[in-house]
């Protein structure tokens, strides 16, 4: 396992998240909580939803094992790229021709006035999906060569484009701001594409596409395309459950006391930071190595990578869990308590954050062990596990929200994470988990967490006295 790849991926994601937070702060300052902010966020929600469900995780997890196994990588890559690009461009044209229909599909309770304001922005924003697919495709090829920083960092260009626009149009009319922001998203997407093209050329990978285009009519690749098709739909299902769970939680929170939706949103933003920087960064960097090892039937190398990643994840996520639970109130106070966000909001958000953090380790480890399933092309099994965890999540959400409110929804998500972890490990084999945890490292881990937790407990007491 390449530690350099993990750190470069984590660093790129960290910069991306920090600039994203700055972008959100400037957007709030420029638009506030207004009609135009709702219009912009709704217009951007459509391509963003497709990007998360379709382009990023689903494509990479389906394409990588097929690409590793392919005997004609250039031909296979070009064939898949042309097919997906055709479908996405065609879909974008349909959205351009009938934007009101697609806008109404998301904002079904909005009236004609809001739909008419949002529809033109939906058209502009949706073309970002075409650009981000190119980024995803090129990023997956770079991942095969174990280069991760370009893709992890590239979102910074999107954030910079939006930040520059917000600063330039800060005092403009809100309608002008949202149109300028929409075009800045396309500019940011174009910068992301250019960045990846430069990286592809520097890595000497351009010849793969040139050769693939030149010999694209070779029929031997049809079998590999069919295998990819078999993996893609289950991968979409497996990767969409998190987005569906988030949508359901937001809908259920709307039935609770005022502010519940905001508590979930702000707490989840904090939760996603360690999850992305640690869990996603490590598993993304590890996926090509495990895929190659399993393809070459090198089980020992695959398990060695899994073992090392398990302990890195456990230590870093364990420290994050203790920090998120014990320092929840100071963290929320530092990030959000200003203006209309008062002490009561801080306490409620901190409680929700604590419930989210309970599930950080199982979600992270489930992500790690699921690499085995995807590398072994068991995408259907991974999809079934994801759906089972979603069902458990929804059932507990309905039960726990009665007494715990928004915190119950967050705890339900954590319970779903435990279910996903247990079922994933069961499919991979409990024997692998037992081989990992039966070492002395387990005792050191437990002792270290107790010691670190004790220190954080006293730090929290000091901070609470200071801020209150």
- What DSSP letter does each residue of 338-381 carry, written as one string? STT--HHHHHHHHHHHHHHHTTHHHHHHHHHHHHHHHHTT-HHH
The reply to whether 210 and 320 lie within a common domain is no
Range of the structural domain that residue 332 is part of: 231-468
Q: Where are the alpha helices (DSSP H) in 254-337?
A: 260-274, 281-295, 299-326, 328-336
Domain boundary among 217, 243, 265: 217
Helices 112-126, 128-144: axis angle to 10 degrees equals 40
What pLDDT is attached to residue 338?
67
Quick check: is 222 in a domain?
no
Query: Is the confidence at residue 5, as pLDDT, over 70?
Result: no
Query: Is the confidence at residue 468, as pLDDT, over 70?
Result: no
Which H or E element spans position 15?
A: helix 3-31
What pLDDT is attached to residue 351?
93
Domain boundary among 217, 241, 274: 217
The reply to whether 113 and 22 lie within a common domain is yes
The reply to whether 322 and 190 lie within a common domain is no
What pLDDT is attached to residue 109?
62
The reply to whether 181 and 321 lie within a common domain is no
The reply to whether 360 and 290 lie within a common domain is yes
The reply to whether 167 and 313 lie within a common domain is no
Q: How confident is the model at residue 127 (pLDDT cuts 50, 70, 90)?
A: very high
The reply to whether 240 and 351 lie within a common domain is yes
What pLDDT is attached to residue 244?
77
Inter-residue contact 149 to 12 (CB < 8 Å): yes
What pLDDT is attached to residue 211?
57
Over the chain, what is the mean pLDDT? Answer: 82
Annotate 97-125 with DSSP letters as a single string: HSHHHHHHHHSTT--HHHHHHHHHHHHHH
Quick check: is 226 in a domain?
no
- Rounded to two decimals, the pTM is 0.75
What pLDDT is attached to residue 18?
83
Inter-residue contact 62 to 235 (CB < 8 Å): yes
SS3 content of the chain, % helix, strand, coil (to 5): 90, 0, 10
Summarised one tens digit per residue, pLDDT across range 237-251 is 777 777 778 778 777
The reply to whether 347 and 370 lie within a common domain is yes
Q: What one-character DSSP code corresponds to residue 277? A: I
Region 284-290 average pLDDT: 75
The reply to whether 6 and 104 lie within a common domain is yes
Summarised one tens digit per residue, pLDDT across range 395-454 is 999 999 999 988 999 999 999 999 999 999 999 888 888 988 888 899 999 999 999 999
Domain boundary among 217, 244, 262: 217
What pLDDT is attached to residue 324?
92
Which of 67-76, 191-200, 345-354 has the least mean pLDDT?
67-76
Quick check: is 225 in a domain?
no
* CA nearest to 335, candidates 271, 268, 274, 266: 266
Q: Look at 323 and 280; give whichever has higher pLDDT.
A: 323
Quick check: is 51 in a domain?
yes
Which of 10-19, 323-332, 342-351, 357-366 has the least mean pLDDT?
10-19
Region 256-266 average pLDDT: 75
Quick check: is 433 in a domain?
yes
What pLDDT is attached to residue 446?
93
Quick check: is 224 in a domain?
no
Instruction: Report the domain count for the chain.
Output: 2
Quick check: is 223 in a domain?
no
The reply to whether 390 and 449 lie within a common domain is yes
Summarised one tens digit per residue, pLDDT across range 46-60 is 677 666 665 556 677
> To the nearest 10°, the Cα dihedral for 245, 248, 249, 254?
170
The reply to whether 186 and 259 lie within a common domain is no
Rg, C-alpha atoms of the chain: 23
Summarised one tens digit per residue, pLDDT across range 58-102 is 677 777 777 777 777 778 888 888 888 898 899 999 989 998 888
The reply to whether 261 and 129 lie within a common domain is no
Q: How far apart are CA 15 and CA 277, in angstroms?
A: 10
What pLDDT is attached to residue 356?
94
């Amino acid at each position: 396992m390449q530690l350099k790849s993990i750190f470069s991926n984590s660093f790129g994601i960290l910069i991306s998240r920090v600039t994203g937070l700055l972008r959100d702060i400037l957007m709030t300052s420029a638009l506030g909580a207004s009609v135009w902010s709702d219009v912009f966020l709704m217009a951007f929600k459509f391509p963003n939803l497709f990007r998360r469900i379709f382009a990023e995780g689903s494509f990479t997890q389906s394409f990588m094992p097929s690409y590793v196994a392919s005997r004609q990588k250039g031909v296979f890559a070009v064939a898949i790229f042309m097919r997906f690009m055709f479908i996405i461009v065609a879909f974008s044209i349909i959205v351009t021709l009938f934007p009101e229909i697609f806008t109404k599909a998301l904002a079904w309770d909005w009236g004609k006035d809001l739909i008419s304001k949002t529809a033109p922005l939906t058209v502009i924003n949706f073309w970002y999906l075409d650009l981000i697919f190119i980024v995803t495709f090129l990023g997956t090829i770079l991942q095969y060569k174990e280069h991760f920083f370009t893709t992890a960092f590239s979102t910074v260009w999107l954030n910079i484009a939006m930040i520059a626009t917000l600063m330039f149009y800060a005092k403009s009319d809100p309608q002008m701001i949202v149109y300028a922001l929409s075009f800045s998203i396309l500019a940011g997407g174009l910068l992301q594409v250019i960045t990846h093209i430069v990286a592809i050329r520097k890595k000497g990978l351009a010849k793969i596409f040139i050769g693939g285009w030149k010999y694209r009519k070779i029929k031997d690749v049809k079998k590999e395309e069919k295998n990819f098709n078999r993996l893609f739909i289950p991968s979409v299902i497996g990767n969409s459950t998190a987005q569906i769970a988030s949508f359901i939680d937001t809908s259920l929170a709307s039935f609770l006391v005022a502010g519940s939706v905001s508590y979930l949103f702000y707490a989840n933003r904090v939760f996603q930071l360690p999850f992305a920087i640690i869990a996603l960064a490590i598993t993304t960097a590890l996926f090509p190595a495990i895929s190659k090892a399993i393809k070459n039937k090198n089980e020992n190398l695959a398990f060695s990578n899994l073992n090392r990643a398990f302990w890195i994840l456990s230590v870093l996520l364990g420290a994050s869990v203790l920090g998120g639970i014990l320092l929840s109130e100071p963290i929320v106070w530092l990030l959000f308590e200003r203006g209309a966000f008062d002490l009561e909001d801080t306490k409620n958000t901190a409680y929700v954050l604590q419930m989210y953090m309970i599930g950080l380790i199982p979600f992270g480890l489930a992500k790690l062990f699921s690499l085995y399933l995807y590398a072994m092309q068991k995408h259907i099994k991974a999809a079934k596990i994801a759906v089972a965890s979603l069902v458990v999540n929804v059932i507990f959400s309905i039960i726990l929200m009665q007494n715990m409110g928004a915190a119950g929804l967050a705890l339900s998500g954590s319970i779903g994470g435990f279910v996903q972890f247990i079922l994933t490990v069961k499919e991979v084999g409990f024997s692998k988990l037992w081989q990992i945890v039966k070492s002395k490292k387990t005792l050191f881990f437990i002792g270290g967490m107790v010691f670190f937790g004790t220190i954080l407990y006293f730090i929290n007491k000091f901070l609470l006295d200071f801020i209150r």
